[in-house]
Structure 1
């Protein structure tokens, strides 16, 4: 706006107009500045500046594997306001409902079989069938167009019959290709073609605070979508309260409820970053997922052979703390020269650890040249080595330093 100058020869009307323009100029600048400030504040506080939505041109598919990954982005892009809707519209048809049923024997209390009891109460005895059918439901997602579905092992545990219901309403019989209770993973095959398959992200590069979207069938409510963030990564199974599993979980505050198990956890681009699997009872805003990189590795083994061979040492252990040290010294007369490391509490008979000469009371200080401080670190080191290979360890046995090599065995199945 050009400034207005008044001349002595100007009329009163022109002078008034000139004065009004002088007054309105600073007011306009103030309003413009306020608008910029408000706009900037909206952009800063609006949760829209995240990675770009799924783009078909960014997707690469391997010819040797049903698992696909998108091309890594050099920098995040600004996504539209409805990026969650875009993700749901893209991935929602790949999420399925899994129904499992099993037939179990009906067992009456022993007192009901007592002849004396039946003599007096025979007419009032309940007429119960010899068997009953137990049913459960969970979630899963399609990973290949020819009908491979990933879910949790506990969703189909012990099932005699498994069916998969697609988003379009079709219900198809499922064949269990394999389950792995140690990582709570399972693969189901359905006879169908041209199915919409998910795209996989990279769970090793997750950042705390990035978007997390869960899709599943919680509490029987099909196609439910919840959102949140990645709250933490690398949560050990002992921290989550499932010590019999061998997983480092993703933690999210996206709502996860019974029935979500086996469904996908997605990033803002619609890539699967985890498999929803666990909740802590009575907790709020705490859900856990299996990292998709771990899940893919397990799934490929299940597809190839129907099972997974996990490495096994055969020890019970705990991280050595001053409190644990004092308790073991008092209760089991263990003598410790170390104040840190992992103490072996028990060695399983005829296990690889027993054959290598490990004993209860030994303190593991190093594995494969790396210092060890926690039991979780021992578990991770064992998981990273192949069955049949030697695992070098340095121990402290009542003040004596020992170096032993343990030939890693196969984790016995739960049935054995």
Structure 2
């Protein structure tokens, strides 16, 4: 995309915000077409404001239930060159194609409602028009009675969702819930006795482990690629998606637009991640949401249709000696910062939990609940793992003096996706 990944609220003023993300160009694989072809490979929300997140010149691009029926793990040796074949033959039927469509109505500029234009231009005034934006992505079945996981950006704002199984059967899909903050969604189709994927433990993954990706890149159904886990715990700010609250898996398995929402599998055929993003212009740099995160979010979406994320309401940046010196120089010494590390609060959102708790712009957060803070990612993780309404004890430096404040997180206000 042409700029950093978009905030679902339209800004970065929340507890996961990072003022200075790496400006990697992120593409989240989803194939989009409309009256004219629209190509999306970022956080595609069927929305002109966010389509630029996945735009290119070619077509682009929850979790368990007690009733899930998962296939037994595949016992395959990665020394066997056919282990990928064994995995695909066993679980490939649980990977689906997801097509979504949304009707978008263009708005006539307010100026044309002025009586002057009405009088002198009459029928020549442009009228609202409608167009249909279509997109396709991937997904995988986690319940034999039709629950399917995919990315939120694959189905966001869709009027119609269609799920196609590997055997060619097509079903209308109902979106049970979606969470733009983690980019996870759950779809329900009316079917029974479906093949499902077994869930693996993404917390135990190590760089170098073999993985397999299955999906529908560029509309090419049931495409299989393989590679390794290149890294774990890539923060959202590391890949330029600072509004997301996910620590990603990195893989060199080929992930392309249209793979969004598809499974990343280990050598036993267990799903250990949901493929979701690539860095534009790079090769061998794909990213997946760890399955433990997907599973947690999906369970909440299935049970209540939404996910409430804890929220403080701050804009912040990791403090370094260089940033400290720059601030002191720009303010002529009017800002007194003693610490060389911590997190500098740049702005506090009015009426937010941070504002009610007494935090101010210019404060440097040095610890939360007695845990030393050295960067933005540490605050993001603490807040995301906190409980809404449960106070966090924050130690800050203000004008060179230590201060202890109590802030109670509230639910993150997520802007309507319509």
TM range (shorter): 0.7 to 0.9
Following superposition, the deviation at residue 396 of structure 1 comes to 1.2
SS in structure 1 of the partner of residue 404 of structure 2: strand
In structure 2, the residue matched to 1:247 is 246
Structure 2 residue 174 is the aligned partner of structure 1 residue 169: no
Structure 2 residue 96 is the aligned partner of structure 1 residue 91: no
User: What is the TM-score with the length of structure 1 in the denominator?
Assistant: 0.78
Structure-to-structure mapping, 1:5-404, within 5 angstroms:
64=66, 66=68, 80-107=80-107, 130-332=129-331, 333-404=334-405
**In structure 2, do the counterparts of structure 1 residues 100 and 77 end up closer, same or farther at CA, with 3 Å as the change threshold?**
closer
Q: Contact between 1:388 and 1:409, CA under 8 Å: does it hold in 2?
A: yes
Q: Which runs of 5+ in 1 are unaligned?
A: 1-60
How many positions carry a matched residue from both structures? 350
**In structure 2, do the counterparts of structure 1 residues 338 and 78 end up closer, same or farther at CA, with 3 Å as the change threshold?**
closer
Q: Deviations over 1:389-410 (max 9, x none)?
A: 1111111112211122211111
User: How many angstroms apart in 1 are the aligned matches of 2:278 and 2:162?
Assistant: 24
Q: Contact between 2:69 and 2:144, CA under 8 Å: does it hold in 1?
A: no
User: What is the TM-score with the length of structure 2 in the denominator?
Assistant: 0.78
Following superposition, the deviation at residue 77 of structure 1 comes to 5.4
User: How many angstroms apart in 2 are the aligned matches of 1:282 and 1:334?
Assistant: 41
In structure 1, the residue matched to 2:407 is 406
User: How many angstroms apart in 1 are the aligned matches of 2:362 and 2:205?
Assistant: 38
SS in structure 1 of the partner of residue 238 of structure 2: helix
User: How many angstroms apart in 1 are the aligned matches of 2:394 and 2:68?
Assistant: 38
User: How many angstroms apart in 1 are the aligned matches of 2:78 and 2:284?
Assistant: 27
Following superposition, the deviation at residue 116 of structure 1 comes to 10
SS in structure 2 of the partner of residue 238 of structure 1: coil
User: How many angstroms apart in 2 are the aligned matches of 1:118 and 1:164?
Assistant: 47
User: How many angstroms apart in 1 are the aligned matches of 2:166 and 2:397?
Assistant: 58
User: How many angstroms apart in 1 are the aligned matches of 2:192 and 2:381?
Assistant: 39
Q: Which runs of 5+ in 2 are unaligned?
A: 1-62
User: How many angstroms apart in 2 are the aligned matches of 1:264 and 1:167?
Assistant: 14
Following superposition, the deviation at residue 141 of structure 1 comes to 0.3
User: How many angstroms apart in 1 are the aligned matches of 2:137 and 2:384?
Assistant: 28
User: How many angstroms apart in 2 are the aligned matches of 1:286 and 1:370?
Assistant: 33
Following superposition, the deviation at residue 81 of structure 1 comes to 2.7
**In structure 2, do the counterparts of structure 1 residues 388 and 129 end up closer, same or farther at CA, with 3 Å as the change threshold?**
closer
Following superposition, the deviation at residue 288 of structure 1 comes to 0.3
Following superposition, the deviation at residue 303 of structure 1 comes to 0.2
RMSD: 2.7
SS in structure 1 of the partner of residue 299 of structure 2: helix
SS in structure 1 of the partner of residue 86 of structure 2: helix
